[in-house]
């Protein structure tokens, strides 16, 4: 059964009044092989330490040492994003004959919940024997979305497995798509790039996108062929740097389509051969966004005052498909009153 998970909490900082004030707490979850630090601001995973082949712990997620880093502009490091993760085309959708317009914060589109999404708000924590659960009520009309939405995000740690469960209930029909936006580098945060990582994604197809990153077509045989051509097909280990070079790619920022099932299944695996660190992502979601930190540019100083250049981390964001609320043939993202949104993602760390 292994040793129990230890859980403790401490004050991390005080938010400035102009951001709504309030005390931000940090929660420490610790097993024999993994240590995780999570903030009550944005349910942010601020640190995640795992052992390498040498038995030493190393922090493998990007982030900041102080609260100030997280209250300034940053690319969603470690945060839970919502109500709707990823992009909604033109920030517009129609539910029950009524059109809703959201704030545009990503070119012509709305991204990750808008101007002040779930990543920028304080959540109410509750300590559990093996983790921590966060709750918030997103009021009707927040960021333009309909309905009072109650949301629970629960992190539990067991050995080398961190589970993230998302639940939500609404008073009006609303799109919901929640994910965590942690940036990983298995050689340790602050390492220069992720080119020596091997990635495999359990998908036969991905969604091609236009130049604003909105999916352009239905999933077709063509995208399945393209998927194999990109070498991201099922169970193929791709060494990232060589792959980007060979196909002259600027990086990945694509949704991969997983088999449709409500059950837990393996979605992706990342491996860092030099340290032996491996991370598997299992989920109940229909998609996973693979992003290679293409927009990092070295301007942000992270933990230990290290700068984070382009391709210095990757994200594997389990989710519904981008712009699904406007694409009837995509998996449904509308939550109805009386229903419960309930998804879990498991991050499994091993050496």
Dihedral, CA of residue 320, residue 339, residue 120 and residue 163, to nearest 10: -70
- State yes or no: 253 annotated in a binding site: yes
Give the Cβ contact number of residue 107 at 10 Å. 12
- State yes or no: 182 annotated in a binding site: yes
- State yes or no: 237 annotated in a binding site: no
- The closest of 185, 158, 173 to 32, measured between CA atoms, is 158
Give the Cβ contact number of residue 30 at 10 Å. 17
- State yes or no: 86 annotated in a binding site: yes
- State yes or no: 311 annotated in a binding site: no
- State yes or no: 234 annotated in a binding site: no
Question: From the candidates 74, 112, 181, 254, which is the catalytic residue?
Answer: 181
**Degrees (nearest 5) of the Cα angle 31, 35, 37?**
130
181: annotated active-site residue: yes
Question: From the candidates 37, 202, 280, 317, which is the catalytic residue?
Answer: 317
Binding annotation: 86-87, 181-183, 253
Point out the residues that are catalytic.
Answer: 181, 317
Binding annotation for beta-D-galactose: 86-87, 181-183, 253
């Amino acid at each position: 059964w292994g040793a129990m998970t230890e859980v403790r909490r401490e004050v991390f900082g005080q938010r400035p009044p102009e951001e709504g004030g309030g005390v931000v707490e940090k929660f420490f979850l610790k097993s024999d092989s993994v240590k995780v630090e999570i903030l009550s601001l944005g349910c942010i995973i601020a640190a995640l330490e795992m052992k390498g082949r040498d038995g030493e712990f190393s922090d493998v997620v990007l982030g900041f040492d102080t609260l100030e880093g997280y209250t300034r502009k940053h690319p969603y490091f470690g945060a839970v994003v919502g109500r709707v993760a990823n992009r909604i085309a033109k920030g517009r959708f129609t539910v029950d004959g009524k059109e809703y317009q959201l704030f545009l914060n990503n070119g012509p589109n709305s991204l990750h919940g808008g101007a002040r999404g779930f990543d920028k708000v304080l959540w109410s924590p509750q300590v559990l024997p093996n983790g921590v659960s966060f709750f918030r009520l997103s009021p009707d009309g927040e960021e333009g979305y309909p309905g009072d939405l109650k949301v629970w995000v629960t992190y539990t740690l067991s050995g080398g497995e961190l589970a993230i469960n998302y639940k939500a209930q609404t008073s009006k029909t609303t799109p919901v798509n929640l994910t965590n936006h942690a940036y990983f580098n298995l050689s340790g945060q602050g390492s220069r790039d992720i080119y020596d990582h091997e990635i495999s994604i359990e998908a036969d197809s991905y969604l091609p996108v236009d130049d604003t990153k909105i999916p352009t077509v239905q999933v077709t045989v063509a995208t399945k062929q393209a998927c194999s051509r990109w070498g991201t097909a099922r169970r193929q280990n791709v060494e990232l740097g060589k792959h980007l070079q060979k196909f002259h790619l600027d990086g990945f920022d694509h949704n991969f389509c997983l088999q449709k099932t409500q059950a837990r299944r393996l979605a992706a695996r990342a491996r860092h051969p030099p340290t032996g660190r491996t991370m598997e992502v299992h989920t109940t979601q229909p998609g996973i966004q693979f992003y290679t930190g293409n927009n990092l540019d070295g301007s942000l100083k992270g933990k230990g005052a290290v700068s984070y250049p382009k391709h210095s981390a990757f994200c594997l964001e389990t989710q519904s498909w981008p712009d699904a609320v406007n694409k009837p043939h995509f998996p449904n993202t509308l939550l109805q009153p009386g229903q419960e949104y309930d998804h879990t993602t498991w991050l499994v760390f091993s050496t």
